[in-house]
Amino acid sequence: MLTTKRYEYLNFGSILIHPTLGNHRQLTISKVAHLERDILKNGLLEPLVVWERNSGEYYLVGGFHRFEAIKAIRSNNPGYFDRVDVRVVAGDPDEIKALNLKLNADRVDTKITDYFETVVYLNNVNWPLERIAEFLDKSISWIEDILKFAPMINGEMRDKLEKGEMSWNRAKEIIQKTLKVPAGMEKEILDEELSRNQQKVIKPLTFKSVLGHFTRIRTEQPDKKFTLRIDVLYSFTRLLKGKNYDEEDLERVREVFPELME
């Protein structure tokens, strides 16, 4: 059973990387750099998550960007962060892998594709649909859709989903059409539908990402204050709208909120 055993102030050097546990997406260098500055200034505000496989044997499960940021800090500042706050969890290997995948998916900028590997993996290790749905805080029908359609998502469709150029409903609609045509015509219909798909404008900011970002700041630094010029506020609203913005707007907002523009 997956449980949190304790919270501990752990020797950083004792935290190992397990060959089957990692970060879904490739680590973002700019995010690591931002976290390096933030942790150096404010400390590690959110503990790393580690799996105690055996007594005294710890593997990183969640917090890979923070882990790399601390490594960078330690390389430039010997003696810093010799010990770090961690949440120590216990469970069987399948449960730990599931937690690793879930922690990667539980981000403000999560895409539907981030859940593909998680859901398929849990299904393959014989987790009931009800358990998967409860674990991920999703409906059973949502889980069923991923199991049905995700294996049929090709590289181009996945890329569009990840970039926000195609909705999940549109992807399912295209797949359903390919399943209804005569055998041998699937590729032709797929290409036709993809070429017809209207690419939406990719917003550099979304209400979801902005709300999530400021919610974290409000929780972790309730007294934090911002001083904004009117041109920065104007550029911020243009980016949030997602229309008629230019490179100057991007630069103004990036200067004040670099973490939102990663």
Q: What is the DSSP letter of 205?
A: S
Q: Which of 26-30, 167-171, 195-199 has the highest mean pLDDT?
A: 167-171
Q: What is the DSSP letter of 197?
A: P
- C-alpha dihedral (123, 208, 218, 105), degrees to nearest 10: 20
Rounded to whole angstroms, how far apart are CA atoms 81 and 67? 11
Q: Which residues contact 9 (CB under 8 A, 6 or more apart)?
A: 83, 84, 85, 86
Radius of gyration of the chain (CA): 21
The three-class DSSP label of residue 16 is strand
**Can you give the pLDDT at residue 1?**
76
DSSP of 24-89? SSPPPHHHHHHHHHHHHHH---S-EEEEEEETTEEEEEE-HHHHHHHHHHHHHSTTTTSEEEEEEE
**Can you give the pLDDT at residue 25?**
63
Please name the helix (run of DSSP H) or strand (run of DSSP E) that holds residue 3, with its range, or none. strand 3-11
- For the segment 145-160, the average pLDDT, to the nearest whole number, is 90
Domain extents in the chain: 3-93, 153-196, 207-261
CATH class of 3-93: alpha beta
Question: For tokens 């015509």, what's the residue?
Answer: 185
> CA dist 21 to 11, 96, 98, 171, 190, Å?
20, 9, 10, 29, 34
**pLDDT per residue over 202-227, tens digit each?**
678 888 889 988 998 999 888 988 88
pTM (predicted TM-score): 0.60
Q: What is the DSSP letter of 166?
A: S
**Can you give the pLDDT at residue 140?**
94
**Can you give the pLDDT at residue 75?**
94
**Can you give the pLDDT at residue 123?**
93
**pLDDT per residue over 178-203, tens digit each?**
888 888 888 888 888 887 755 444 67
- C-alpha dihedral (197, 143, 110, 97), degrees to nearest 10: -140
**pLDDT per residue over 82-138, tens digit each?**
999 999 999 988 889 888 888 877 665 567 888 888 899 889 989 999 999 998 888
Which one, of 62, 93, 82, lies nearest residue 10 by Cα? Answer: 82
Rounded to whole angstroms, how far apart are CA atoms 84 and 61? 15
**Can you give the pLDDT at residue 181?**
84
Positive or negative, the CA dihedral 214, 217, 219, 221 is: negative
Higher local confidence (pLDDT), 199 or 65: 65
